[in-house]
Amino acid sequence: MAETDQERSELPTGKRLQQAREKGQIPRSRELGTAAVLLSACFALLMLKETLAGALIKVFKTGFSLQRDQVFDPYAMGDLLATLLRQMMAPLGLLFLLVALAAFAGNILMGGFNFSSEAMAPKFSKLNPLSGLKRMFGVQSLVELIKSIAKVLFIALFAWWLLSSQFEHLMNLSFEGFPGGVIDALELLLWMVVVLCCSLLPIVAIDVPFQQWNHMRQLKMTKQEVKDEFRDSEGKPEVKGRIRRLQMEMANRRMMVDVPKADVVITNPSHYSVALKYDPKQPKAAPKVVAKGVDEVAMKIREIAREYQIPVLPAPALTRAIYHSTELGREIPEGLFAAVAQVLAYVYQLRAFRRGKGQRPRPLAPDLPIPDELRR
């Protein structure tokens, strides 16, 4: 096999991507999940700061306001702890809920939700120390180490810049009184944490496309793998050909059953045959093609038509036009209504003549009205 066939140069097919998904191999960005959790926690604190502060004040007041009998009661502390937990449960529960939702959304934002039982199955190969050392000192581990060092350096530089820009404000906090200084310090600290968490956004903007590219790179296929997958999914050509022939034979047999129901069979005597059926009880309906074919199939249609005494009329141009423009079981196009109407009128007059109820009809006109766009 050629060397080029062994190179993984082809993008993964849909089947390969689906198989990887079933194995739990989907692109994920840990940086995206981390940024979602930290930013959601910061903004949740900003939204709930007054509620949390009020609950904390209640906790402190309740915790430090003890009666003399409570001090000597061994069960009082347990009851007091339950009271304090109830006071903090609502704001902290809402905070944890918002963070949990952000963590879930941040982790499925890239790659979507995926449950893989195969990925959950234990793999004893991961217990092999040699495999573990290979993963620890492999190229992927080196890349992750470099990414971690770069991330720490970037965040550290950003934090140094943030502290430098707020240094004067931080120093002035010591001149503020109580409780204004504490509130100002907490407000400043919270917004500094929000800005510091926002420093993760450039890292996320780099990591997300990298993880997507790396995932597609790992799933790339060789040309031979693409050919093998196509052959496995589509089947061998000889088998497909055999199936197609059987399908055509079955379709032809079903079609031949409808030939005796036709009103007329028009032909191009050398190749084509088309059987038409019209139901006058349905005024809005148009003539339908109940059978059509070329060569041997066309000859078989004519043979059945003669057996059931269905008129067989030569109309080469009209036959070719209907054959190429109308699918089996469909109504003929509007542009052929006039030509087919003349054919059906001739057939009805011929039936009446054979029953002795009319004169012999004139021969069918050789130049039936067929639009140029439907001529073949």
> Residue 26 in contact with residue 111, Cβ under 8 Å?
yes
Which of helix, strand or coil describes residue 369?
A: coil
- One-letter amino acid at 293 equals G
User: What confidence tens digit (pLDDT) does each residue in 57-107 have?
Assistant: 777 777 777 776 776 677 777 777 787 888 788 888 888 888 888 888 888
pTM of the model: 0.49
Question: What percentage of residues in the chain have a pLDDT greater than 90?
Answer: 0
| Phi, psi angle pair for 41, to nearest 5° | -65, -45
The string of pLDDT tens digits covering residues 124-144 is 666 666 666 666 666 667 777
pLDDT of residue 179: 65
User: Are the beta carbons of 199 and 155 closer than 8 angstroms?
Assistant: yes
Mean pLDDT score of the chain: 80
- Looking at 261-357, list the stretches that DSSP marks H as alpha helix, in order from N- to C-terminal side: 296-307, 316-325, 337-354
DSSP bridge pairs for 313: 266
Strand partners, 128: none
Domains and CATH numbers, the chain: 17-121+166-220 (no CATH), 260-374 (3.40.1690.10)
Measured in degrees and rounded to the nearest 5, phi and psi for residue 225 equal: -65, -40
Longest dimension (CA), the chain: 127
Element (H, E) at 265: strand 264-268
Counting Cβ atoms within 10 Å, is residue 40 exposed (0-12), middle (13-18) or buried (19+)?
buried
Q: Are 140 and 218 in contact (CB under 8 A)?
A: no
Instruction: Give whichever of 175-184, 191-200, 275-284, 341-350 has the largest mean pLDDT.
Output: 341-350
Burial class from Cβ neighbours inside 10 Å (0-12, 13-18, 19+) for residue 262 reads: buried
Structure tokens at 331: 């109504």
pLDDT at position 5: 46
Question: Hey, how many other C-beta atoms are within 10 angstroms of the C-beta on 37?
Answer: 18
For the chain, counts of helices (H) and of strands (E): 16, 4
* pLDDT score at 247: 64
pLDDT in tens, 233-279: 655 666 666 767 776 677 677 778 888 888 888 898 778 999 999 88
For tokens 């949390």, what's the residue? Answer: 52
What would the DSSP string read from start to end of 45-112?
Answer: HHHHHHHHHHHHHHHHHHHH---HHHHT-TTHHHHHHHHHHHHHHHHHHHHHHHHHHHHHHHHHTTT-
The token pair that represents 160 in the structure block: 């140094």
Query: What are the angstrom distances between the C-alpha of 161 and each of 170, 192, 358?
Result: 14, 11, 107
- Residues 7-61 have pLDDT tens digits of 777 888 778 888 788 777 788 888 888 888 888 888 888 888 778 777 877 777 7
Amino acid at 159: A
Q: Tokens representing 309?
A: 């005494």
Predicted local confidence at residue 1, as pLDDT: 41
Summarize the confidence of residues 116-125 as an average pLDDT: 64
Count the alpha carbons within 13 Å of 142 in the hemisphere toward its beta carbon.
Answer: 4
Among 247, 219, 186, 184, smallest CA distance to 111 is for 219
Beta strand residue intervals within 151-200, DSSP E: none
Q: What is the rounded distance in angstroms from the CA atom of residue 369 to the CA atom of residue 338?
A: 7
- Choose between 156 and 235: higher pLDDT: 156
Question: Helix-strand-coil percent breakdown of the chain, rounded to 5?
Answer: 70, 5, 25
Report the pLDDT value the prediction gives residue 126, as an integer from 0 to 100: 62
Grade residue 4 by pLDDT with cuts at 50, 70 and 90. very low
275 beta partners: 265, 291
